Chain A
Amino acid sequence: MTAPAIPDPAVLARIGDLELVARWVVEGFLSGLHSARHLPHLLHVLARAIAAGKGNLAGAVAQVAARQRRRGFFMLVSDLYEPATDVVNAIAPLTGAGHDVIVVQVLDPAERTFPFEDATTFRDLESGARMPVTPGKVRTAYRARMGAHLEAMRARLTAHRADYLLADTSEPLDRVLFDYLLRREFLRTAN
């Protein structure tokens, strides 16, 4: 397996496409570039990555599953604005291969409570579609739909032997992960 060439950090800094950045990072790890010598470059790329464009969860997971033969630990961090069935189908190759899979769904508090007041035109960050919305009219329905979506996501992932974790963007992700790993270690020890 040929390790991809690591471009100059200045060039990487100008890359704004998240998918391209993700590909570099994933291939870098899979190629063993997470060694001490190349790790700073990968972290640098991650730090400069800008969220943009449309995600392709199933494709990314399939690519990783095809290239990772040894059992390992996979963590999927996403807002999971996809049907639960699609997510489950996407991670099924990983759980089927015996990997430990943890899915962290990260949401902004506003995405859960929808606190807006003014009639506003909202723009979809991925597709760019626009929609005029009067928050007061849709808030209740929105919260119900969001709650159902989260519950469905949790139930389907758990049923497929994947750990599900709902995180808030107001909290640091490392702390969330630390708490989760600590709790998992406690449960394993207890068993």
Chain B
Amino acid sequence: MPALLAPLFLLGVAAVAWPLIAHLAERERPDAVGFPSLAFLERTPAPLTSRRQLRDPLLFALRALAIAALAFAFARPVIAPRGAAALAATQRRDVVVLLDRSFSMRVGDRWARARAAVEKEIGALTLGDRITLVAFDRQAHAVTLTTGDAAALKAGLDSLAPTDAPTRLAPAIALAQQRLAASDAPRKAVVVISDFHRSMWDLAADARLAPGTALTTVDVGSGGPIVNHGVRAVEVKRDRAGNGERIVVGARLANAGPAITGVRVRLDVAGRQVEEKRVDLPKDGGATIAFAPVVVPPDPVQARVSLDADALAGDDAYHVVLTRAPVVPVLLVAARESPFLPRALAVGDDPAFEVITRAPDAVGPADLAKVRVVILADGALPRALAPRLLAFVEQGGGLITALGERAMPGTWPSAARALLPGSLRATTERIAQGGAVLGGVDRQHPALSVFAGAHAGDLGAPRFYRYRPIDTTAGILARFDDGGVALTEHQVVGGHVITFASTFDGLWNDLPRQPVFVPLMHQLVRFAARYRAVPRAYAVGSALLPAELAGVPRDAAARWSVIAPGGERWSVGGAALSPTLDLVHAGIHELRPGGNPAARPVLVAANIDPGELDFTPFDPARLVNALLPPGAAPVAASTATAQAAELATLAEREARQSTWWYLLAAVALLLAAETWLAWRTRAVRATVE
């Protein structure tokens, strides 16, 4: 039984219907034949059954054979040696080829090498082998069915191209496991073709391939050093010298490779070039650049920082959405003025903080109405202010209380008892020990999560010489080194309350003189104000909720129209569509409510995932060791067994046999015979008639 390299071409046999139709169609002549008299004839229309009979079965057979032979030739038959079928039945493999098509595959000739690796796998198909081609980046999907049809696999491969998305291994491995679990082939294999860069690793610790599954890795990332430059980030700050409507756009540039001088860097706002600068990029280094302040209109506007394009163009531009800095108004209540806190809040950019300072007895109802956060800087809370402050917090306002010298036990108004996390205790003096430090900081709490990074600020640096420990067991964010509670958070109806066991004025500690003071205060006020920063840009591959982007209540039935950077349009939301906007291209996406094309769009900027631009590789052997069951021997790159090696690959065998050539010659002979027979039949018939 011959095998076929391109069995789908056998569908061409259906063309046999053509000569059949031609034969049957000729049963009725379209024109009437003249006859001297119809007197001796009878009306006898041709019955349907007789129309189904072939007039020239030999002619039809020749035509049908020619078409069938042609289809068979295109299917590229190959005759396997005797016993090959039985051998193939025991040796046939189902292979899942995982092809990385993330952004990093655009580097150099990685994609070409990856394609070549896939083609090699296709070319290595032996009798009975099947391949499932899976393309993966952030997600994974099967490009082809599980098939041994080399033509179909190559067509699937040709339909692929690298995307802008980041790489994730887990979905691809999961899909491979799923496909192989449904396979009944005696041999199973997974081939991973990727550049194996560090950020793609997201496998769970227990991820394993089924026992007996071979794993082959093809690393297309190894090669010469990468030469690339790009824009890694864009930062936006308020222009403090201006009136607040101007912003300063800065960019962080990176260069991998030799030093470059005079690289042009441009800032475009709303599609128009605003400024161009030249910058020198050091060898394997980076640079920062700041453009002149620009005026931002009231509505969001798209902007782009770009530099001269190189071979990897995707990271040569960085897109952002520029908006005026949001402002969080803060009421600072302090009996004694201190410059530290107002100055710390004055440098806020995202958001900006507008500070109103009042003495405790001078706080009026209008003051509370204008602000989102109240800071009691030394713990003084007049009885007249207490109920209004409680109502303010219950309605969603934020409160930060520093338990300074005026927050003595028994002085806190009972009407605002809910604003304290617990009872107050006497102050603790630690000056003799050189001050206490913070310990036990809950960096997972949203109020302190910005300090979770290694270089995010040292909360252990400040020294606390006096403090008033809080007697509570709930909502503890930080403790002093003696175990006393230093920072708490609790909620009163709709508002957040943060309580600090020391002061912000520098009298009981040196906190205001520590670098961590500014980011700590910014973060505490942001949390108390329930402020959520709207990113100016997202990474490609992000999935976003349209309602949140537009700042409107979620409505599962609402549909949104999306226009991608390349002009591609699609819809999200509603009952049958994806609920999220999946960013698949770098650039500006426009989002509008469905059915309202004239609406002002919500602009969403997307850029290449930073992890995708970290080309640091990892050893593919690590993947093999992680996925193979414990004790299983790693499989070499060539997994063919000795038996399978005896079977020449189908492609090689087919090329050697050239059966298609003989079939085409047979087609020519059949067509020649058909032509002669048709001519002869017509001639005889014409003579008779």
Contacts and interface: CB of A to CB of B under 8 A. Distances in A.
A158 to B, nearest CB: 22
A180 interface: no
A133 B42 contact: yes
Contact of B41 (A118, A142, A149): A142
A81 B32 contact: no
Interface in B17-57: 27-29, 32-47, 50-51, 55
Contacts of A130: 32
A138 B29 contact: no
Contacts of A145: 40
A124 B55 CA distance: 26
Contact of A117 (B35, B39, B43, B685): B685
Nearest to B35: A122
Contacts of A138: 41-42, 44
Interface string A112-123: 000111111111
A79 B45 CA distance: 27
B36 A81 contact: yes
Interface residues of B, number: 25
Contacts of B32: 120-123, 130
A163 to B, nearest CB: 23
Contact of A146 (B40, B46, B55, B685): B40
Interface in A10-64: none
Contacts of A122: 32-35, 38, 41
Contact of A123 (B35, B39, B45): B35
Given A123-B33, A132-B45, A115 B688 contact: yes
Interface string B659-689: 0000000000000000000000000010011
A129 interface: yes
Nearest to A130: B32
A131 B38 contact: yes
A129 B36 contact: no
A89 interface: no
B564 to A, nearest CB: 62
A133 B44 contact: yes
A142 B40 contact: yes
A118 B44 contact: no
A125 interface: yes
A121 B32 CA distance: 5
Contacts of A137: 42, 44
Interface string A133-164: 11001100110011001000000000000000
Contact of B33 (A108, A120, A134, A149): A120
Interface centre among B27, B36, B50, B51 (most CB of A within 10 A): B36
B35 A124 contact: yes
B39 to A, nearest CB: 6
A111 interface: yes
A126 interface: yes
A141 B42 contact: yes
Interface string A77-119: 0010100000000000000000000000000101100011111
Nearest to B55: A118
A102 B45 CA distance: 40
B688 A117 contact: yes
Contacts of A121: 29, 32-33
B37 A119 contact: no
A188 B28 CA distance: 54
Contacts of B43: 131-133
B39 A81 contact: yes
Nearest to A132: B45
A37 to B, nearest CB: 37
A134 B46 contact: yes
Nearest to B31: A121
A137 B50 CA distance: 11
Given A118-B55, A132-B43, A81 B28 contact: no
A131 B46 CA distance: 11
A141 to B, nearest CB: 7
Nearest to B42: A138
A121 B28 CA distance: 8
A125 B50 contact: no
Contacts of B39: 81
Interface centre among A117, A122, A145 (most CB of B within 10 A): A122
B34 A125 contact: yes
B514 to A, nearest CB: 106
A136 to B, nearest CB: 8
B35 A134 contact: no
29 contacts: A81-B36, A108-B36, A115-B688, A116-B33, A116-B689, A117-B55, A117-B685, A119-B27, A119-B46, A120-B28, A120-B32, A120-B33, A122-B32, A123-B33, A124-B36, A125-B34, A126-B36, A130-B32, A132-B44, A132-B45, A132-B46, A133-B41, A133-B43, A133-B44, A134-B44, A138-B42, A138-B44, A141-B40, A145-B40
Interface of A: 79, 81, 108, 110-111, 115-126, 129-134, 137-138, 141-142, 145-146, 149
Interface of B: 27-29, 32-47, 50-51, 55, 685, 688-689
The 7 closest A-B pairs by CB, nearest first: A119-B46, A81-B37, A123-B32, A145-B40, A121-B32, A134-B44, A132-B45
